[in-house]
Amino acid sequence: MDIIIGAGVTGLTYANYSDKPYLMLEADDHTGGYCNTILQDGFVWDYSGHFFHFRNQEIADFFMDRMETGQLVSVARHAQIKYKDRLVDFPFQTHIHQLPEDEYQDCVRDLEKAGGTVPSSFKEMLYARFGKSIAEKFLIPYNQKLYATDLNRLDVNAMGRFFPVADRDEILRGGQKTTYNTSFLYPRGGAIQYIRALEKDLPKTSLSLNEKVLAVDLNGHKVTTDKREMHYDHLISTIPLPRFLSLCKFDYDRSAFDWNQVLVFNLGFDKPSTDKENHWIYFPEEKYCFYRVGFYSNIIPSEKMSLYVEIGLRAQETVDIEAARMRVINDLRTAGIITNQSLVSWHYVLMNPAYVHVTSAGNREVERLKEVLGQNDVFTIGRYGSWNYSSIEDNMIEAISLSKELN
């Protein structure tokens, strides 16, 4: 029997494609992990913004076959950046012509001087590829807020394909740049509908909720939970890799792993938004506590403004929720998002870990650990199991690939 630790998207996907007997263990009282939805006072909120950008036809077909016709809404993304006193279209680097003329000229001059060095960190890459002005006006301050860390610690390719690359000609030509999330699909009932589709064909007897794994014996192929002991043929873990290694009492380089938290506020208001177009807005300036604000009410039209607000925090940072909520409301007023609306409902979730910090040392250590664990019939997958920057769809592809390999 295979044992799967974690009933989020990755674990559920593996179960759907496995032809072996399995038992899925979930410490929480619900499936889905971070891909979950809150229904409160007539508002539909997720733990954070979860938007599918289907690139893989097999996965697209999987959901289309298991979701009701019309349940998925197709959306052409509209996103902007709050830059000083104006809104600039995203991505910033291909819309610098929307800046004041003197700042635009600074960006062009610095872009012409960029390059010539081989960067060794994410921050150095931003300077080398885009020049000082574009890097310092948006790319560096925004990503520092997102990752809540010094960008020199991150690998050059820390964001992989998710970083909106543009060459000099594209930047100078300007206009809309096609990125991985130019369009997306969103379920009318929130992201939990993806989880319901993943659960649809799975036997309930193969899932155990409220069962926490306490220890893993690699040599004995044994898992100990707070309820029992079990032997496995293969063990598939989707929980954060450092946490799993601690369960195994496995020696590893702890300095190679770092991450940050994200505090998400879901906010419901009594009146509609004055912004009818944006699906989210990025906020690079330090005067705003959040790095992104998303409009659920512009995805599924509503007469009441419904927002999610994301704040990056260091891994060990503590937060006063009420003080943070009050700061968010004040900053939303300063940004002009709240005008005459009153807050009528709210919810928060603290995601920890949220974004893993992809570093060169971490990449090497993950590769080493995966090889050793694989020799013991243990496989760690997903964003947190593989410790990388990935989309929900990427995690599903990884799970499908592993299940086919083990089948």
Q: What is the pLDDT of residue 176?
A: 57
For the entire predicted model, the pTM comes to 0.94
Helix (H, G, I), strand (E, B) or coil at 91: coil
The correct answer on CATH 1.20.950 for the domain covering 79-173 is no
Q: What is the pLDDT of residue 163?
A: 81
Q: What is the pLDDT of residue 179?
A: 58
pLDDT above 80: residue 274: yes
Q: What is the pLDDT of residue 69?
A: 82
How far is 393 from 345, CA to CA, in rounded Å?
31
Please give the mean pLDDT across all residues of the chain: 94
Q: What is the pLDDT of residue 175?
A: 59
User: Would you tell me which CATH number, out of the four given (3.90.660.20, 3.50.30.40, 3.90.1150.10, 3.40.50.410), belongs to the domain 259-356?
Assistant: 3.90.660.20
The DSSP secondary structure of 262-312, one letter per residue, reads EEEEEEEESS--S--S-SEEE--STTSS-SEEEEGGGTTT-SS-EEEEEEE
Q: Look at strands 259-269 and 306-314 and give their pairing.
A: antiparallel
Q: What is the pLDDT of residue 52?
A: 81
Q: What is the mean pLDDT of residues 252-256?
A: 94
Q: Which long-range contacts (CB under 8 A, 24 or more apart) does 371-378 make?
A: 373/218, 373/250, 376/218, 376/219, 376/221, 377/221, 377/232, 377/233, 377/234, 377/235, 378/216, 378/218, 378/234, 378/235, 378/237, 378/248
How far is 265 from 305, CA to CA, in rounded Å?
14
pLDDT digits (tens, 9 = 90+) for 175-230: 555 555 688 889 999 999 999 999 999 999 999 999 999 999 999 999 999 999 99
- Which of 90-99, 154-163, 383-392, 396-405 bottoms out in mean pLDDT, i.e. has the lowest? 154-163
In order of 187, 196, 274, 303, 326, the CA distances from 42 in angstroms are 16, 20, 20, 11, 22
Length of the chain as a residue count: 407
Q: What is the pLDDT of residue 181?
A: 63
Question: CB under 8 Å to 285, separation ≥6 — which residues?
Answer: 82, 83, 84, 141
What superfamily in CATH does domain 2-76+188-255+358-406 come from?
FAD/NAD(P)-binding domain (3.50.50.60)
Q: What is the pLDDT of residue 357?
A: 97
pLDDT above 80: residue 27: yes
Helix (H, G, I), strand (E, B) or coil at 196: helix
pLDDT digits (tens, 9 = 90+) for 36-77: 999 999 999 999 887 888 889 999 999 999 998 889 899 999
Q: In this prediction, what percent of the chain has a pLDDT beyond 70?
A: 98
Q: What is the pLDDT of residue 172?
A: 77
**How many beta carbons lie within 10 A of that of residue 105, not counting itself?**
13
pLDDT digits (tens, 9 = 90+) for 327-350: 999 999 999 999 999 999 999 999
| CA 92-46-267 angle, 5° bins | 80
Q: What is the mean pLDDT of residues 128-138?
A: 96
Q: In this prediction, what percent of the chain has a pLDDT beyond 90?
A: 88
Q: What is the pLDDT of residue 177?
A: 53
Residue boundaries of the structural domains of the chain: 2-76+188-255+358-406, 79-173, 259-356
In order of 126, 140, 152, 405, the CA distances from 123 in angstroms are 5, 7, 5, 37
pLDDT above 70: residue 360: yes
Q: What is the mean pLDDT of residues 84-94?
A: 95
DSSP type of residue 174: -
